[in-house]
Amino acid sequence: MKKLALLTLLLYCCSAKAQSSYTPTPDNLAAREHFQDMKFGLFIHWGIYSELGAGEWVMHDKQIPYNNYKRLADFFYPQAFDAKAWVQFAKRAGMKYITITSRHHDGFSMFGTKASPYNVVDATPWHRDPMMELAQECQKEGIELHFYYSLLDWGRPDYAFGSPIVNGEPVNGNWPSYINFMKSQLTELISNYPGVKGIWFDGYWERTNANWHLDEIYGLIHKLNSSVLIGNNHHEAVKPGEDFQMFEKDLPGGNTTGFSGKSQISQLPLETCETINNSWGFNINDRSYKTVKQIIQYLVNAAGNNANFLLNVGPMPNGKIQPEFADTLAVVGNWMQKNGESIYGTRGGLIPPQQWGVITYKPHVLYAHVLKTPRQPYIFIPSVEGKVSKAVLLADGSKLKIKQQPEGVFVYTDGLTLDPVDTIIELTTD
Ligand code: FHN
């Protein structure tokens, strides 16, 4: 017995060591830089739940028994699905990557997996693999693909949703079987789908007292492809083995949703995700569409806080994206075409957000994004390194009056007609 306890302790120590000794490879570090440069991504929640038009939590919310819910697979036939159209939709909006639900909490795999027959290829009359079609199209079009993957599963007996957790495992389930199942699926997602660059975990928060074997899972992913970026929406501080940190429906540091109370901002690349209306999965009743101004300002604020912006749409069960979303995002795309240089490839967090807006920067260039009318007839940018040799409006190149002092730069905004969405001031330094 004593021997067993010692062995368990030893195994625990070794696995803890394996986690904490994670050193990202040079190609992983390069992938992180590239990730930060992309700035704007499309989040897609799409599954058999879309058929009910009540969001991705419909099974849980409406207490649909699993065996009844499973019938949705029999009618899943998205006749209008076109990977090309989705990728063009993202490109048109100025987005550089797509993160899509390969499997959500309902446990239905939206990819052709050998690990369970409950998947889009084997269990629907459609028999197609939208993740493969999307991966191939993304590769062709230079759009990066990340897979959302739910750790939580409402239906599998080995997960045993609702079971008490004792010693890190659900007493009514078969935890080793569930962990192995996830490992098999993740191996498929990384090995079979071309060009996958990230895994976006979710659902950890459902049982924070379970032993998720993250060391093994993260280790496996990085062993299969060391440059794949791992993020986990556990709503806690980042854990060893993770490559980026996400915030849900809040900018880094914010906590209006109550999700981010325990997630201190890390040194990893940051991402914030938000919905285009109020839903992740298709919701036929949700007409709270965000405006072009709200979306652009969210993106700019995210960039100013050094975070990417991952904006979600929930396509309809026929595979089409609502026209309202396309119309809004086409205007956002036009804005990005004109102003993208102040967003793509920049970094933020140089100074905290100000009353008037935020700053993004690249070597020798600062962009002040004036999102609200300044309280003073000027904006003040502290700690500017180097001498400012040029201060202009990005929109038309017109020169602006400035005063540089050791403590910072004053840019005079009186007399300027401010853009109600974002007035971008470009400062070039020596
Ligand atoms: O429960 C999910 C939800 O359905 C959605 O996927 C979001 C996306 O950030 N994450 C979870 C809630 O934290």
Please spell the DSSP secondary structure of 108-150, one letter per residue.
Answer: -BSS--SS-S-BTTTSSTT---HHHHHHHHHHHHT-EEEEEEE
pLDDT attached to residue 258: 86
Query: CA separation (Å) from 397 to 97, 414, 424?
Result: 30, 17, 10
The minimum-distance atom of ligand 1 relative to the CA of 246 is 9
Q: Can you tell me the distance from the alpha carbon of 317 to that of 326, in angstroms, rounded to the nearest whole number?
A: 16
The pLDDT value given to residue 9: 41
Lowest mean pLDDT among 13-17, 115-119, 133-137: 13-17
| Burial category of 206 from C-beta neighbours within 10 Å (exposed 0-12, middle 13-18, buried 19 and up) | middle
User: What backbone phi and psi angles, to 5 degrees, belong to 29?
Assistant: -65, -40
Nearest CA to ligand 1 atom 9: 248
Which one is predicted more confidently, 88 or 2?
88
Taking CA atoms only, the protein residue closest to ligand 1 atom 10 is: 202
Taking the C-alpha atoms of residue 430 and residue 428, their distance in angstroms, rounded to an integer, is 7
Percent of the chain at pLDDT > 90 equals: 92
Q: How far apart are CA 256 and CA 44, in angstroms?
A: 23
Mean per-residue pLDDT, 341-347: 98
Nearest one of 369, 233, 382, 381 to 301, comparing CA atoms: 369
> What CA–CA distance (Å, rounded) separates 244 from 238?
8
The pLDDT score that the predictor gives to residue 388 is 98
Give the pLDDT score at 257.
Answer: 87
Per-residue pLDDT of 134-176, as tens digits, reads 999 999 999 999 999 999 999 999 999 999 999 999 999 999 9
Q: Which CA distances in Å does 387 have to 168, 359, 428?
A: 57, 17, 8
pLDDT band of residue 119 (cuts 50, 70, 90) is: very high
Rounded Cα–Cα distance for residues 157 and 244 (Å): 31
Residue 41 backbone dihedrals phi, psi, to 5 degrees: -130, 165
CA distance 237 to 245: 9
CA–CA distance, 298 with 300 (Å, rounded to integer)? 5
C-alpha dihedral over 387, 393, 396, 401, to 10 degrees? -70
Q: Tens digit of pLDDT for each residue in 393-422?
A: 999 999 999 999 999 999 999 999 999 999
**Residue 178 CA to its chain's centroid (Å):** 25
**Does 106 contact ligand 1 (Cβ within 6 A)?**
no
The CATH superfamily label for domain 14-342 reads Glycosidases (3.20.20.80)
- For every residue of 160-206, DSSP letters joined together read -TT--EETTEETTS-HHHHHHHHHHHHHHHHHHSTTEEEEEEE-GGG
pLDDT for 27 beyond 70: yes
| Backbone angles phi and psi of 409, in degrees to 5 | -120, 135
What lies within 8 Å, CB to CB, of 17 at 6+ separation is: none
Residue 12 in this model has a pLDDT that exceeds 70: no
Is there an atom of ligand 1 within 6 Å of 56 CB? yes
What pLDDT digit, counting tens, does each position of 248-302 carry? Answer: 999 998 888 888 878 899 999 999 999 999 999 999 999 999 999 999 999 999 9
pLDDT digits (tens, 9 = 90+) for 53-78: 999 999 999 999 999 999 999 999 99
pLDDT for the residue numbered 260 = 84
Q: Return phi, psi of residue 343, to 5°.
A: -120, -60
Q: What is the pLDDT of residue 262?
A: 84
**CA 115 to CA 183: how far, in whole Å?**
10
For atom 6 of ligand 1, which residue has the closest CA? 280
Q: What is the mean pLDDT of residues 21-28?
A: 95
Q: Does the fold of domain 357-429 match that of domain 14-342?
A: no
User: Would you say the CB of residue 248 lies under 6 angstroms from ligand 1?
Assistant: yes
End-to-end Cα, the chain, rounded Å: 70
- The pLDDT of 326-332, averaged and rounded, is 97
pLDDT at 16 (0 to 100): 37
Which residue's structure tokens are 């009540």? 54
Q: Which residues pair with 424 in a beta bridge?
A: 369
Average pLDDT score, the chain: 95
Of 154, 202, 277, best ligand 1 pocket probe by most atoms within 8 Å of the beta carbon: 202
Tracing tokens 């100074």 back to the chain, one arrives at 351
* pLDDT (average), residues 348-377: 97
CATH code of domain 357-429: 2.60.40.1180
- Find out whether the beta carbon of 273 lies less than 6 Å from any atom of ligand 1: yes
Average pLDDT over residues 108-120: 98
Please give the pLDDT value at position 197.
98
Q: Is the Cβ atom of 279 under 6 angstroms away from ligand 1? A: no
Q: What is the pLDDT of residues 169-221, one digit of tens each?
A: 999 999 999 999 999 999 999 999 999 999 999 999 999 999 999 999 999 99
Percent of the chain with pLDDT over 70: 95
Q: Which residue has its alpha carbon closest to ligand 1 atom 5?
A: 280
Domain boundaries along the sequence of the chain:
14-342, 357-429
Dist. CA 224–CA 243, nearest whole Å: 15
pTM for the structure as a whole: 0.95
Q: How far is the CA of 54 from the centre of ligand 1 (A)?
A: 14
